[in-house]
Every structure is written in structure tokens, then in C-alpha cells.
Chain A
Amino acid sequence: MVERLSPLEPDFHPGSHGNFEHGVDVILTETRPGSIVQLAAWPGEEKKLIAAIRAVTGLALPDGAGGGISSGGKSVFGFAPGKFTVADDAEGLAEAFAKAVGPAIGTVTDLSHGRTVIRIAGPKAEWVLAKFFAIDFALPAFPVGSGRSTAHHDVFAQIHRSGTDQFDIHVFRSFARSFWKALCHASEEVGYEVQ
């Protein structure tokens, strides 16, 4: 397998930055999953696709729009009706789903090299993201495990809440460095650490 280079490289500076004299309130990092796929079910075939997701990843999707779950290095969340994003720390997700999801059920799109996943974690993660996205980040409205599709100045973002104070933001690889720089600027006021 060809080694993947991070698009953030020239602007990825590990260490503490911004106003961190009183502590670091968010940690920014790139999760670099081995594989990312998008799955789409034809209308009426959603249940079969959800069963295939369970068979391949072992993850049982909760009901409801934007529902999701993560466990053991794998995560899945709905981002549109009948459409799901699956990420895995290991490679080979697309090949596994190509076998499990036949053309009668839906489609499998390998985005492992097409998306960059930026993680923001810490007590001020909601505060920083609220400056970017006009959606409700409160826990009752955006439960742990679930996903949201939104955009920041035409940069599409799929946000997966992977913890109470932790969000994984899937952005197009080509926009990732620009978004990363904006996220760093927005995090300066609370003090951030790049890991």
C-alpha cells in the first residue's frame, strides 16, 4: 500500500499554541483512519444495508436520522437518508463492503484518500465549533455517536460526535489544510494543543 501523506503537513505544528497560559482547552489532531467509505442504499433497501454494516463492522446502528456509534476503532453514522459514513483504523473496509453490499442493495464509495478527519477534543470543543457551524452542539440535540452534515463557507463537513467533548470532522482532503488553519485560529482564544 502506498503511504498516505497528510494534507495538513505544512501547517501541522505539534505543541501548545494560542492563549494557553491558563491551560489548554482543546486538543486538535488528525485521526488518519485506514479506510473511510460512504454507503448508500437504494430506496427501500436501507434495512439490508444496515444489516450489512453490522455484518462487516459488528456495529449496530441506532434508529433515527444521523444516528451512529463507534467502537473498537470503527465508527459509523448516518449523514443523509439511507446514506452512511463508515471509518476504520484498519485498511480494507471498501473491499469488505464491496462483497457484502450487492448492486441490488446500494453503492459503496471508497473515500479513504478523499477525506481528512480532524479531531477536536476538550472542554471548549463545542464552543469552538459553534463559531463555525450553525447547528446545536448540546448533548441532548447531538448525542454521542451521532453525525451531522453541514458546511462552513462551502466546505462540506460531516461531524461525528465520538465523545462527550470530542468531535471528528470529515472534510474534503483538498479543503482540509484551509479548514485546519481556520480551526487553529478559532482555537487560539481558548488555548489549543496540536498532537
Chain B
Amino acid sequence: MLITCPYCGPRDVIEFTYQGDGNRERPEPASQNFEAWNAYVYDRLNPAGDHNEIWQHSGGCRSHLRVVRNTLTHEISSVAFARGDHGPRRKMEGKS
């Protein structure tokens, strides 16, 4: 699997570290909304298809990246720097 880093170009997946689901919305640190915290920690979409993910190019420029990967085919349809414009986020179903 190749991930095309926006800075370094196409690199083998061994240079990258998976940093987790890119759909999560972290509640405000002072939030008392336990449902939101529970969703942040435990709820995952687990889709069969395109999935928003955070990866780090840990064996290269060390940038954090927002990657859309197809969980069925491993096709990478978009890669962008996580910093800056994060783009549209998918909301967790049934949660606000």
C-alpha cells in the first residue's frame, strides 16, 4: 500500500503510523456531556468502504495526515495535511 504524502510524494505504508479514526470529535475538555465523551472514546463507524483516518508520516516528514482509505480495497482516495483546513467531517450516526 502506498500513501502519497503531500510533502514527500508516494511512500510505502511502513513509513506511516496509523493515528486512529478521523471521524472522532473531541468534546471540550470541560464538557460534562458523558454521552459525547463515551462516543469519542468508544464509538466507531467501522464502514465497509471509504473511511476517514489520521496517519502520521512518522518515517519521513513526520506530518500528520488526513487520509481517506477504502477498507475493502485499501485504495487511498485523498491525502491532505491534518493541520489547516480539515475538510468536511462525517458525523457519527445517531449522535449530535
Binding site for B on A (CB under 8 A): 43, 65-66, 79-81, 83, 134-136, 141, 148-151, 154, 156
Question: Residue of B at shortest CB range from A136?
Answer: B9
**How does the 8 Å CB contact mask read for B51-66 relative to A, with 1 for contact and 0 for none?**
0000000011111000
Q: A156 CA to B46 CA in the complex, in Å? A: 33
Would you call B83 an interface residue if the criterion is a C-beta within 8 Å of the partner chain's C-beta atoms? yes
Q: A151 CA to B11 CA in the complex, in Å? A: 11
Q: Are A134 and B11 in contact (CB under 8 A)?
A: yes
Interfacial chain A residues near B12, Cβ < 8 Å: 134
Interfacial chain B residues near A80, Cβ < 8 Å: 7, 60-63
Q: Are A81 and B59 in contact (CB under 8 A)?
A: no
Q: How near does chain B come to A156, taking the closest CB pair, in angstroms?
A: 7
Contact flag A151-B59 (CB < 8 Å), given A65-B7, A65-B8 = yes
Q: A195 CA to B81 CA in the complex, in Å? A: 42
Binding site for A on B (CB under 8 A): 6-9, 11-12, 15, 59-63, 81, 83-84
Interfacial chain B residues near A141, Cβ < 8 Å: 9
Contact flag A149-B8 (CB < 8 Å), given A80-B61, A80-B62, A80-B63 = yes
Question: Residue of A at shortest CB range from B12?
Answer: A134
Which of B61, B81, B83 meets A149, CB within 8 Å? B61
How many residue-residue contacts, CB under 8 A, span A and B? 41
Q: How near does chain A come to B55, taking the closest CB pair, in angstroms?
A: 15
Q: Are B63 and A150 in contact (CB under 8 A)?
A: no
Question: Residue of B at shortest CB range from A151?
Answer: B59
Which of B11, B83, B84 meets A135, CB within 8 Å? B11
Q: A135 CA to B8 CA in the complex, in Å? A: 10
Question: Residue of B at shortest CB range from A141?
Answer: B9
Which of A43, A81, A136, A154 meets B7, CB within 8 Å? A81
Interfacial chain B residues near A43, Cβ < 8 Å: 83-84
Q: Given A136-B9, A151-B60, 19 other A-B contacts at CB below 8 A? A: A43-B83, A43-B84, A65-B6, A65-B7, A65-B8, A65-B9, A79-B61, A81-B7, A81-B81, A83-B61, A134-B11, A134-B15, A148-B8, A149-B62, A150-B8, A150-B11, A150-B15, A151-B15, A154-B59
Interfacial chain B residues near A149, Cβ < 8 Å: 8, 60-62
Contact flag A150-B60 (CB < 8 Å), given A81-B81, A134-B12 = yes
Q: How near does chain A come to B57, taking the closest CB pair, in angstroms?
A: 8
